[in-house]
Chains A and B, each alone.
Chain A
Amino acid sequence: MFARLANGNEGPVRVIEGQASKLSRTMHGIAYDPVHDEIVVPVHLAGAVLVFRASASAEEAPIRIIQGPHTRILRPETVNLDLKNNEIVVGEDGGKDVMFFPRDANGDVAPLRTIRGEKTGLDEVRGVAVDPIRNLLVVSSRGNGNRTTGVFIFNRTDNGDVAPRAVIAGPKSGILRIRQVEVDPEQGKIFVAVKNNVESYRFADPSPSPWNPDKPGFIGVWDINDNGDVPPRGIIKGPASEMVWPAGVALNAGDREVYTIDSISNGMYSYYMPEFFPAKKPATKQ
């Protein structure tokens, strides 16, 4: 946990860590619940979703754990919250699915709904977010082989092997590889961490590095009603942005800021983006 206004080479203000936390070194998602003041984290290697007090620190145990055979959780990659409908949304890369659990689920609990199957078009799910106003689910999925990499939009209450109602993907979208997504439901906007990391396993190539920065990543903004090969309506990208492979995205509409975390530079970046949040809300304390 870092202070929002921290700047430079600063350490965290708090850390949840250690064996009793049941966290691991492989956690690719996180969500904050401002209503119940909790943090939700998926643990990929343990097939678990952990819920902590938001004020937790050090080797503190989670207050709830979703884990076990009835959960059908395989490899939870990402999480988000739908506080209007009181649900935790879990996206899986190995399972190629999205699962919905009661927000207060604890133990070996079956999911309420699961979106999985050939019609869904989902492959390695990297991000999930809910628009509770329009009752939509937004999913970022990395497709292997001839499967689509892009933003998939479902009805929030979809269940089973169902086709998405829209897919944002294609050359104009600029999406090659994709990670975390967030939704600003008030404006109907989707914010996407388009990582665009491209690995090369051709060791004899002139430059064998798997890093391929000629296609740097970006933060892209789409309308929730976009569909097809649509360019982003807003974008943060380029050398000055310092992004190489942005993997995460978070929003702070009150302070009109967008945040990203970069897996190449191991850096966390804050951008002041009033054009993304035109209707300014009361700011948090400075």
Chain B
Amino acid sequence: MIRKIGAAGALGMAVLAMLGALAQAAPQENKSGKPALEDIPPVRLIADPYPAFNGIAVDAANSLVAMSDPNRKSLLVYDRIRGASQGGASVPLRQIVGPDTFLGMIAGIILDPQHQEIYTANNDIEDTVVVMPYSASGNVKPERVFSVPHQAWGLALSDSADQIAVTVEVQNTVVFYRRQVKGVEAPMRILRGQATGLADPHGIFWDDSHNEIGVANHGNFRGVVKNTGGGCSPSFVVEDESEAGESRPPSIRIFVANAKDDAKPLRVIQGSKTGLGWPMGVAYDPQHDTIVVANNGDSSVLIFGRNSNGDVAPLRVIRGARTGISHPMGVAVDPQRGEIWVSNWGDHSALAFDSATRGNVAPKRIIRSAPQGTPTPGFGNPMALAYDSKRDELLVPN
């Protein structure tokens, strides 16, 4: 039988190259040198050979900005000033990538300038937080790895408490660990329960100056996970059958920083006036005493007063074609330079804005992981697909 071989072409080679470390680790099942009969090349493939930014963090003291990349499963560290691009791909100072790194479907990222460490959360499959030294580059083992519950997304660090907070989507939970946590270790405390209102939490910030934490919630809710004694190891989930699925409005919930158990939030930003839609990363801006939200749902950045409460409109919104904001996943604040950084899932880019800006304004600088205009398939750990025979389309839930 004559087969269509190699039609997927150069992109396939590029993707294979990006997955080189994996391919090297794979055994050669066929020793003859000829392809096995079942080893059939695709006639077409859709994949993104470039890093795609999810989380973003800034270290003003060391002039660094770092992004998590769940597409090629890497961490990228750039000079926050010289990393800017005029249209081509920016050159990172370092990229950490490869099977030894333990990096997978990573999401939230934080930089710890004091201890020169990078933290990132493996959201799915690996169920870990990986800690790398600032100097890490290439296929290197982490400095530390610690277990977290399945679907960890957001990370926040407190210098004063010397703790790290981790949001967990499926458990509607924030778990807190000592900063030096390593391996499988029980959390110091857990924020979880009906009164918390946590529902599919994502981004989190820790405001040491006001002793508060803030959590962005998508609103998906299917009961509060009970403590079944599994600790932080992977375990079955037993849930109350009296509870049912809910699609609640999205929210930003502010808690006292040492909250635990079923604590009520101090304040809640929620309602139609807020404009919240799939809020992802959140950050506190001490210069303006505001909360900055990566609003993925309408490709905007929403800025609320720190004391905002209830169904309130944002103080400022950065949105529009000039901004270049496209499906933002992360935000970070650089108070030294007065900048807000935004990581775009939809555009291979990270944008630096003046932190006082509003409206449809262009960013001050752009860091790109691919040349300007490069398409973005947008896959992130996809698990299923279907064929639409009427439109001749392939459907992927992502």
Contact = CB atoms under 8 A, between A and B. Distances in A.
A197 B184 CA distance: 21
Interface string B138-153: 0001100101000100
A19 B45 contact: no
Contacts of A26: 151, 169-170, 220
A207 interface: yes
A251 B387 contact: yes
A46 B38 contact: no
Interface in A40-58: 41, 43-48, 54-55
B162 interface: no
B220 A24 contact: yes
A63 interface: no
Contact of A275 (B1, B29, B73): B1
Nearest to B19: A265
Interface in A191-243: 197, 199, 201, 203, 207-211, 213-214, 216, 218, 234-242
B378 interface: yes
Q: Is the interface of B mostly helix, strand, loop or mixed?
A: loop
Interface stretch (A28-36, A97-105, A148-156): A28-36
Interface string A110-143: 0000000000000000000000000000000000
A180 B384 contact: yes
Contacts, number: 336
Given A244-B22, A270-B44, A180 B383 contact: yes
A272 B222 contact: no
A285 interface: yes
A248 B297 contact: no
B246 interface: yes
B222 A45 contact: yes
B99 interface: yes
Contact of B387 (A18, A23, A32): A32
Contacts of A13: 393
Contacts of B61: none
Given A11-B376, A267-B379, A94 B237 contact: yes
Contacts of A74: 222, 239, 241
Q: Of B184, B381, B386, which is in contact with the most chain A CB atoms at under 10 Å from its CB?
A: B386
Given A4-B393, A19-B276, A248 B46 contact: no
Contacts of B242: 69
Interface in B343-398: 374-398
B266 interface: no
Contacts of A273: 40
B16 interface: yes
Nearest to B245: A47
B4 interface: yes
Contacts of A22: 247
B270 to A, nearest CB: 12
A214 B278 contact: no
Given A1-B395, A210-B102, A266-B71, A54 B379 contact: no
Given A242-B41, A265-B19, A270-B43, A208 B397 contact: no
B200 A24 contact: yes
A146 interface: no
A18 B385 contact: no
A50 B381 CA distance: 21
A197 B125 contact: yes
A264 interface: yes
Interface residues on B, range: 35 or more
A5 B43 CA distance: 10
Contacts of A189: none
Nearest to A50: B247
A250 B245 contact: no
A199 B163 CA distance: 27
Given A74-B239, A214-B27, A270-B45, A250 B376 contact: no
Interface string B116-132: 00000000011110000
Interface in A234-286: 234-242, 244, 247-252, 254, 257, 259-275, 284-285
Contacts of B389: 32, 34, 252, 254, 284
A1 B245 contact: no
B220 A235 contact: no
Contacts of B376: 11
Given A7-B9, A267-B45, A261 B387 contact: no
26 contacts: A18-B277, A18-B297, A19-B250, A20-B277, A24-B218, A24-B220, A26-B151, A32-B387, A32-B389, A39-B388, A46-B245, A47-B223, A48-B247, A54-B391, A71-B244, A72-B241, A211-B22, A211-B25, A237-B36, A238-B36, A252-B389, A261-B383, A266-B380, A267-B46, A267-B379, A271-B42
- In order of increasing CB-CB distance, the 7 nearest A-B pairs are A47-B245, A238-B39, A267-B47, A27-B397, A45-B220, A69-B244, A46-B220
Interface of A: 1-15, 17-20, 22-32, 34, 37, 39, 41, 43-48, 54-55, 59, 65, 67-69, 71-75, 78, 94, 108, 144, 179-180, 197, 199, 201, 203, 207-211, 213-214, 216, 218, 234-242, 244, 247-252, 254, 257, 259-275, 284-285
Given A46-B220, A263-B105, 5 more contacts: A19-B278, A26-B169, A67-B244, A263-B125, A263-B382
Interface of B: 1, 3-4, 7-9, 11-12, 15-16, 19, 22-23, 25-30, 35-36, 38-50, 70-71, 73, 99-102, 104-105, 125-128, 141-142, 145, 147, 151, 169-170, 183-184, 200, 218-223, 233-234, 236-237, 239, 241-247, 249-250, 276-278, 297-298, 374-398
